[in-house]
Structure 1
């Protein structure tokens, strides 16, 4: 069994939040393989700690993937401010005799340097085409936790655990490893808070993560962090605005200053995404379909809404409005060129993370969330069949079956993009729903 088969069998998906099946990436040949250890979302602390605690495993998993795709160079991207981790990685690379192949490259402390297209440019100087993916410029990108999972796959261990940062306006900030399928509320209570009536929870980072409508969900392979804030925090209020509310506010206040465009990370890479034009189209009910297509180039980093707009408006929401509208009509943007040059103004418009954190009102919460061993042993776990990009997994177990930790319980549908799923505890299958397989711990 080769690495691709082992990764596929282990059910590995992008652990940084996207959830794209990793085995599909390994089907391509690339000049570079890049490790995304930027973790540019404010307050999240998973990747930087994993690289410190498991450097050999991550390096070995990353090296194996790089060799498998035929890469000539494997570049680890990590922010230069993490000096201790950078030193550890470089020492271990040398000790493992991989310095000719694996290299650590330091990234600036900016947002969103973890966006894979920004990362590709920072590490290789190349620009991914509009509406494109890194392989188009000879690159494959994997997250640091994904590389760790690839190492475990090589020793026949599937993905059954997830590392998560719990942070925000809470008594105890920490990063933990919990079984996939754990009730989210069990993880949130590790913060020292029992009653969440006065709190809101952001699922993921404070920039791109949505405010959870309820706390009844379950940990998936894509879970990365939970940011807990008081309900009256301005970031919670801002992110809780509906699309219709955002449209009304935009129509009443946008003065077409174009700051949302001028500071857009993808625009600065040379792409034609221009949120100020979408604001204009929305405000005046413009019907030019061709002009609306650029909304599909938005990476949803949320910089325009949460930092760039001086009036506090909702340019990303305008992009999403047209993006959804075009998707309903099955209309796709087609790039007019294949090569892109970074705009000259880019070097003056990079957003420092510290400045962003202050603007978000999170300065007082920008503190360590140390890796902490905890016992989270829920009686029931819910393994989602839809915790990845692609088709949901097809259950291969029945109600009443006894399953052991790590056993495969769902397969990829024939001829589809997807990922296998495994049980994270030993126990009995008690329910198989449309979206979940429920297992009772024995």
Structure 2
């Protein structure tokens, strides 16, 4: 098998974003391949620790992917503040004799440096078209953990484990490696909190992560972190508001200051998105949905809601409202721009991460979350068949079957976008539901 086949068989997906199947990204040719090591969300610590602890494996996986897509250059984008990690990377790049192929580019510490379109511009000076993807400007983007999983796939290892940061208002912030399918509640308890009656949990980073509706779920390949905060924290209250309530608040107070637009990362790249116009449209009950198509350019970084708007309103939810309406009507934004240029003020409107963390009320929780080996072993795991972009995996096992670690238990439907799933423990298949395959350990 070539690398593409090995990555497909191993079920490698983007390890932290939407979960796009990685083998699809390798089916192309590119000028550049970029390693997204920016980890721009406050409080998350996975990528930086992986880069330090698994340096060689990540570099080798990155190089394998780069050579496969015929990239003329492989570039690692990492924030300049991570000096220790950068030193380690430089040492190992030289030791592996990759210094002429892999370049380490240091980035300022701003949000959202890890947005893939922002990253492409920062590292290559190319601007992804409106509504487009990086390959349209000759770039493939992977994150650090995905590169590690590509290396593991080249060694015949499937994706059965996940690295997760558990942090927030907790006694013991930490980063751990757990089996896919582990009950989320068991992972949360590693933080030292055992009674969650007064707490809420953000699934992912504080900017883009939603609040978990319940804690009874299971770890998937996409999970990156869990942020535990008291229910009365203003960030939890802000994220708990529903769209209808947000619409009423927006109508009562938006003064069209346009700060949501002027600070928007995609607008600053030259895209046509203007959240203040979406706010205007909803405030005046504009029914011409055609005029709101630019809402589809929103990357939902949440900067407009959680930092830019001085009145504490909800521009992102307004964009999302129009995106959902447009999707129902099967209407798509079509760009008329043949050439994009960044806005003149972009350099001065990149939001420092520390300033954002203070605004979010998280500065006292912005602590180390050191990688910790845990004795957490799941006796039963529940593995989702749809933990990736695309069609759910089709079960390749039946109730009563015995499985081994790494065995394929769900396959991508034929001629569909998707990813295989694998057993993370040895045991017996005891249940197959609509979205879960449950394994009881031996």
Q: Report TM bin, short chain.
A: over 0.9
For residues 74-133 of structure 1, what are the alpha-carbon distances to aligned partners after superposition, in whole Å with 9 as ceiling and x for unaligned? 000110000010011011001101111011111110000000000000000110000000
Alignment of 1:124-273 (within 5 A): 124-273=124-273
**Aligned position for 2:436:** 436
Alignment of 1:40-51 (within 5 A): 40-51=40-51
Q: Tell me how far apart the structure 2 counterparts of residues 249 and 115 of structure 1 sit (CA, whole Å).
A: 28
Structure 1: tracts of 5 or more residues without a match: none
**Aligned position for 2:369:** 369
**Aligned position for 1:413:** 413
SS at the partner of 1:226? strand
**Aligned position for 1:337:** 337
SS at the partner of 1:276? helix
Q: Tell me how far apart the structure 2 counterparts of residues 339 and 26 of structure 1 sit (CA, whole Å).
A: 27
State whether structure 2 residue 103 is matched by structure 1 residue 97: no
For residues 169-200 of structure 1, what are the alpha-carbon distances to aligned partners after superposition, in whole Å with 9 as ceiling and x for unaligned? 00000000000000000000000011000000
**Aligned position for 1:87:** 87
Q: Tell me how far apart the structure 2 counterparts of residues 379 and 155 of structure 1 sit (CA, whole Å).
A: 27
Cα offset for 1:291?
1.6
| TM-score (ref. length: structure 1) | 1.00
**Aligned position for 2:17:** 17
Q: Is the CA contact (8 Å cut-off) linking 1:18 and 1:388 kept in structure 2?
A: yes
Q: Tell me how far apart the structure 1 counterparts of residues 343 and 189 of structure 2 sit (CA, whole Å).
A: 46
For residues 43-87 of structure 1, what are the alpha-carbon distances to aligned partners after superposition, in whole Å with 9 as ceiling and x for unaligned? 000000000001100000000000000000000011000001001
SS at the partner of 1:103? strand
**Aligned position for 1:299:** 299
SS at the partner of 1:344? coil
For residues 361-384 of structure 1, what are the alpha-carbon distances to aligned partners after superposition, in whole Å with 9 as ceiling and x for unaligned? 000000000000002212211000
Q: Tell me how far apart the structure 1 counterparts of residues 16 and 141 of structure 2 sit (CA, whole Å).
A: 11
Q: Is the CA contact (8 Å cut-off) linking 1:131 and 1:297 kept in structure 2?
A: yes
SS at the partner of 1:389? coil
Cα offset for 1:339?
2.1
- Runs of 4 or more above 3 Å deviation: none
SS at the partner of 1:61? helix
Structure 2: tracts of 5 or more residues without a match: none
**Aligned position for 2:73:** 73
Q: Tell me how far apart the structure 1 counterparts of residues 362 and 269 of structure 2 sit (CA, whole Å).
A: 28
Cα offset for 1:287?
1.9
Q: Is the CA contact (8 Å cut-off) linking 2:166 and 2:188 kept in structure 1?
A: yes
Cα offset for 1:15?
0.4
**Aligned position for 2:36:** 36
Q: Tell me how far apart the structure 2 counterparts of residues 235 and 338 of structure 1 sit (CA, whole Å).
A: 39
- More divergent stretch after superposition (377-386 vs 132-141): 377-386
For residues 230-255 of structure 1, what are the alpha-carbon distances to aligned partners after superposition, in whole Å with 9 as ceiling and x for unaligned? 00000000000000010000000000
Q: Is the CA contact (8 Å cut-off) linking 2:179 and 2:378 kept in structure 1?
A: no
Q: Is the CA contact (8 Å cut-off) linking 1:167 and 1:227 kept in structure 2?
A: yes
